[in-house]
Amino acid sequence: MESPGQSPLGDRTAVVTGASSGIGRGIARRLAADGADVVVADVRREPRRGEQFDLDDDRPTDELLVDEHGVESRYVETDTADPDAVEAMVEETVDAFGGLDVLVNNAGILVPGTSQQVSVDDYRRVIDVNLNGYFYAAKFAVPHLRAAEQGRIVNVSSVNAYYGGGGASYAASKAGIVNMTRDLAIELADAAVTVNAVLPGVIKTPLQDVGGEEAVDRRREETPLPRLGEPRDVGNAVAFFASDQAEWITGAELVVDGGYVAGGH
């Protein structure tokens, strides 16, 4: 347990996939605020800009974390659909920081459309990034997490794990993440490595450009709390699962959606 005055994650190294933009960027900022050194693993370093929701700061995430919180951070170019790239990213992390304590699987893509509209290649790409990439990251990170004093995996899924929407590949991948989380939790319990999932609802990121302003307005109306989610809201949930306060929670899922699911959506 942490000592008085000590940063909750001040002695830990975290990898956050898909952390250049959106939810991943919010997670990385929250973990760095708690003192963690953070590896930003993404296919591009520059943060994406959205038509509906834009950036409050256009600096790359790794640079932002150093400037805001004084932690160590680096960007590692990583396509999570490529197992070789994921393995190299994990090894670079361990070489640079001496170990790995927290893995946050977050990288994801969305290709909207029905089963008849989405190509087989696009379907495979979504599954490769959103589901297989989580497996690759866990596979190569687990030996190092087992060696850590407080190993953690936090998988970012979606409320779409509970129902259709967003396309067959997206819904399937997000549901698969939840059960992968449970399976990994059982596998790693003997080493006291916890594995949990966070399921965001409608979060203000460039992903909300899908469907345009009309879709955003509809999602806002369907969210009971009086605002849409911010990346920091998901970051808060991830930081909790990464902390010592969650050391006896594993195989769990936490919905962060402003009441969206409770409202019957």
Residues acting as catalytic residues: 170
Closest residue by Cα to residue 241 from 41, 40, 34: 34
Give the count of alpha carbons within 13 A of 33, CB side only: 12
DSSP state of 229: B
H/E run at residue 178: helix 168-188
- Cβ–Cβ < 8 Å for 75, 64: no
Distance of alpha carbon 250 from alpha carbon 165, whole angstroms: 27
> Which residue is listed with tokens 């989380």?
181
The CA dihedral of 109, 215, 196, 132, to the nearest 10 degrees, is -20
Burial of 82 (0-12, 13-18, 19+ CB in 10 A): middle
> Which residue is listed with tokens 């190569």?
140
Closest residue by Cα to residue 255 from 227, 234, 224: 234
